[in-house]
Structure 1
Amino acid sequence: MKPLYIALDMETQKEAMDFLDQFEEKRPAVKVGMELFYGNGPAVIQTLKERGHAVFLDLKCHDIPKTVERTMRTLARLEVDLVTLHASGGKTMMAAAKEGLLKGTPSGKEPPKCVAVTALTSTSQRQWKEEQLMEGDLGDGVFHFTDLALQAGLDGVVCSVQEVEGLRKRFGEAVYTVTPGIRMAGSATHDQKRAATPAQARAAGSNAIVVGRGITASNYPVGNYGKIYKEWMGESPWIDK
């Protein structure tokens, strides 16, 4: 399974559910970020799970190890499919996150996958060096953070499509790659500096992609979802297996 997560970057649970109602009985995978979660709390996750959606909870945790461990223990009880934290928090923090997920997961359930955000897809090489004061090439930084994440026991990383092929060569299938910044060819990239098409993500070997405004801001969200999914997976999302 290679999910296409729709980023529900909305303020209210009602807005999110009204949007998803357009898909009728279909249940696309979704990403819940800080805006929707902080405004509505765990109730929005419960509603999405009851409706049958796979949920990627993208809160990008970054704090001292103990705080992150306790936070992940709490998030694990929500039984989401995927969670994030910032790799720049370091290996000890990432290991603590993994420990929290294992402790918090209900008995008999699989813990959520945990992936580390390496460099946001809105980050350029110039920002990497001049604003964040990071040495060397941005891509090298992504590889370094990925190595730390895997050493800490995480499942993989969030990165741009541009880094996936290099990660595959270096780490093989050991790293699960989630790639946001996905746009159809010719579409606006908005604030994304390292964007890519679904076809490019597929060719590079991404495990999951995230699409927001290309679907949610569209006049035909269900149709656009189908086009993106078909380019990503090579088949219609509505084919009965």
Structure 2
Amino acid sequence: MSNPVYLALDLPQLRDAQELAGKVKAHIGGIKLGLEFFCAHGAHGIHTMASVGLPIFLDLKLHDIPNTVARAMQAIHVLEPAIVTVHASGGRAMMEDAKAAAGEHTRVVGVTTLTSLDDRDLERTGVSGSTHDQVLRLAELAQAAGLDGIVCSGQEVKSVHDQWHDGFFVVPGLRPAGTASGDQKRVVTPRQARDDGASVLVIGRPISRAENPLAAALEIESTL
């Protein structure tokens, strides 16, 4: 992948998302469209964004019984996403069925621990141990289930890469040096995540909410 940056575009207006993607398309490698975008714009919005000419990462974080997730994966074949997410905590059977139902050219990756969560948050949900340990556990489960890779923070990607050498690793919650973390709790810079083994760097607000998105995308690209 020549440019690992996928721009997260969860803008409320479809035209704004399309225009922004068009402005920076030469300096990113793909577009990440999440649950907010999908609920607002549906399949039509995905097709519209695909016209920009970049790979689509459909970040739906599917999590349900195996049969339901498999049918959902089959339903999005027509959208031809390059990457789709499921929650690794849905279990091995769910992940196996999700991968079996995915399109031939779609990578299925398991979300481990959201970058908005820390050790204290996990403890409150009944998960013992650190976020780092939980990510490694779920990464091992995702690998056993036959997924292509996982989603984790930049703070865990090196350990996961050491454990799963040929995995495909998506790292969100990235912030260029000197920028605010916002609601993200486990952040690193794009350069660090890439050096530690990230395959895809998901970057949203540092570009989409920048005063000059093109300049912001160029600056991030120059560090990679």
Same-fold call, TM > 0.5?
Answer: yes
Match of 1:141 in 2: 134
RMSD between superposed Cα atoms in Å: 1.5
Equivalent residues of 2:9, 2:17 under 8 A apart: yes
Superimposed CA distance per residue, residues 10-44 of structure 1 (whole angstroms, 9 cap, x where no aligned partner): 11211211322433777751100111111111111
The answer to whether the Cα contact below 8 Å between 1:57 and 1:80 also exists between their aligned partners in 2 is yes
- How many residue pairs are counted as aligned between the two chains? 223
1:25–1:176 distance in 2 versus 1, CA, 3 Å: closer
Residue 32, structure 1, aligned to residue 33, structure 2: yes
Q: 1:88 matched to which residue of 2?
A: 89
Q: Corresponding residue for 1:124?
A: 118
Whether 1:45 aligns to 2:37 is no
Aligned equivalents of 1:121, 1:150: Cα separation in 2: 20
Is 1:20 aligned to 2:8, yes or no? no
User: What letter matches 1:142 in structure 2?
Assistant: V
1:56 aligns with 2:49: no
TM-score (norm 2): 0.95
Alignment-derived partner of residue 143 in structure 2: 150
What is the rounded CA distance, in whole Å, between the counterparts of 1:205 and 1:24 in structure 2?
23
2:153 to 160, 165, 168: 160
2:168 corresponds in structure 1 to 176
Q: What's the secondary structure of 1:6's corresponding residue?
A: strand
Q: 1:190 maps to what in 2?
A: 182
Residue 115 of structure 2 corresponds to residue 115 of structure 1:
no
Shift of 1:160: 0.5
In the alignment, which residue of structure 1 is the partner of 2:76? 75
Identity of aligned residues (%): 39
> Any gaps of 5 or more consecutive residues in structure 2?
none
The answer on whether the counterparts of 1:165 and 1:204 sit within 8 Å (CA) in structure 2 is yes
C-alpha contact (below 8 Å) 1:181/1:194 kept by paired residues = yes
The CA deviation at 1:144 is 0.8
Structure 1, unaligned runs of 5 or more: 233-241
SS of residue matched to 1:177? strand
Equivalent-residue separation in structure 2 for 1:28 and 1:157 (angstroms): 18
Aligned equivalents of 2:41 and 2:127: distance in 1?
Answer: 35
